[in-house]
Amino acid sequence: MYELNEEKDPAVLGPFELLAVLGQGGMGRTYLGRRLPLENLGPELEAGYHLTAFEASAQPALAAVKVIRPSKLRDSSEHSEEEARARFAQEIETMRTVASARVPALLGADTEAEQPWLAMDYVHGPTLHKLVHTCGQLAVGPYGALGLALVDALRAIHGAKLLHRDLKPGNIAVGPDGPVVLDFGLAVLSERDSAAALTKTGVGFGTPAYMSLEQARDTKHVTEPSDIYSLGAVLFFAAAKRPPYPLVPMYTAPKWDGVYGPYLPLLGRILVQVAEQRPSLDEIESDLRQLLVDHGLTEEAAADQLRSLVTESGLVPQLPARALSDLPDPEVQQAAQQAVDDGRSPDSPWAPDLFDEFLEAEAQDLEPLNPATDPAPGPAEYVPTVVDPAAHPAPETPAPVPAQPGVTSYPLAPPQPHATPESEVIPALAREAAKRLLKAYAHSGRL
């Protein structure tokens, strides 16, 4: 979490006061914010901002406010800005359709602003990526709690006829109420014949190390089992501190070294490259519950163990003093309210181009709130709702994982179907992965 740059960051976006910077990446910048209690906002602005009902609370309700980088709306494509805004508007609509404690609620958005933004519930906790790289493989309790939470999230997403398509450790935040699945930025309707679907056949989206082969071949026409594969890849990461494959999905079995034996049967069933052979969410839920029972754990005890692991990890970010107050900055509140009273938008006192140049830059140094403990963020392809500053795995830390009975290194091979040869899929994915790594290193100044 980082200080606002008063010269380049606005104090308000829409009706949200900005308190700190959560992170910055290829898609833009994400702020920690809070809704201002403005009077007479008017139905037009309330509708334009897609605002949910404002509820005053004794506890400050914080938001993650995500802003799109201007360069993402302007490139050489004739319809690039129109398509980018359409995609962003679709993100707003998809978020509205999913009601679950495992998905952050939409609080407001403006798809027509010069820098479009959206605000959603802020999840105060680390990403699963950072938690596992810091604390090591998850024991049975936290592992089962994580899996059950992800099943609940995907059930809600799929129940709304949506797909996530980028489920990975960096898109899962572990907050005080357990894991939350983030980023429907490029979710698509599972009704593939819909004219509103923006992803074209053959255009890839997602993270290769956590995607299925069918998604690597054709992102548009994947179905729910592709998300289930990604769920299995995330559970593999939680069990092994690495994805099942280093860069891209393959037909050959993952290396099971170091994976706790009782995790293997379920992982072996999920991580197959034939979509029809993967278990359903109900079957995965049943297996996870049985895993907990076999180890003498209730679901409540497992959730408590995961919560304790996060609390003791030292990874929960320190909130700025302004965020701990239930009152907005008086000057900010007064300026925003005066603008509304004058018939303008609440953020009009802060010029819309105030941070345009800031977002145009490919990389910027951010000033940590606590320089001693909060490192600068690494490069990223886009900014998730809760940003993991480490875009790459953290260095190996002490605290080795204790030996557990049943750990094996035997190959648990999935079925070997006769399908599209991976030689047609892997080279393109490998080139894309190499391109991303080259770009990341170039941005970090290591080349």
Catalytic residues: 166
> Which tokens belong to 424?
């047609």
Fill in the amino acid letter for 57. Answer: S
Q: Where are the beta strands (DSSP E) in 36-137?
A: 62-68, 106-110, 117-121
φ, ψ of residue 173 in degrees (nearest 5): -100, 140
Distance of alpha carbon 166 from alpha carbon 258, whole angstroms = 25
CA-wise closest residue to 213 among 242, 190, 233: 233
Residue 172 vs residues 168, 184, 213, 272: alpha-carbon distances, Å:
7, 12, 22, 22
> Which tokens belong to 434?
């190499």
Distance of alpha carbon 316 from alpha carbon 304, whole angstroms = 16
Residue 10 vs residues 23, 109, 243, 355, 358: alpha-carbon distances, Å:
15, 16, 38, 7, 11
Contacts of 255 (CB under 8 A, 6+ apart): 409
Residue 441 three-state SS: helix
DSSP assignment, residue 259?
A: B
CA-wise closest residue to 261 among 285, 284, 295: 295
Distance of alpha carbon 414 from alpha carbon 239, whole angstroms = 18
Contacts of 45 (CB under 8 A, 6+ apart): 15, 340, 345, 346
Distance of alpha carbon 268 from alpha carbon 284, whole angstroms = 12
Residue 365, CA atoms < 13 Å, CB-side half-sphere:
3
Distance of alpha carbon 369 from alpha carbon 46, whole angstroms = 33
> Which tokens belong to 275?
């979509």
CA-wise closest residue to 110 among 45, 48, 17: 48
CA-wise closest residue to 138 among 267, 322, 317: 267
Residue 94 vs residues 90, 106, 158, 407: alpha-carbon distances, Å:
6, 10, 11, 41
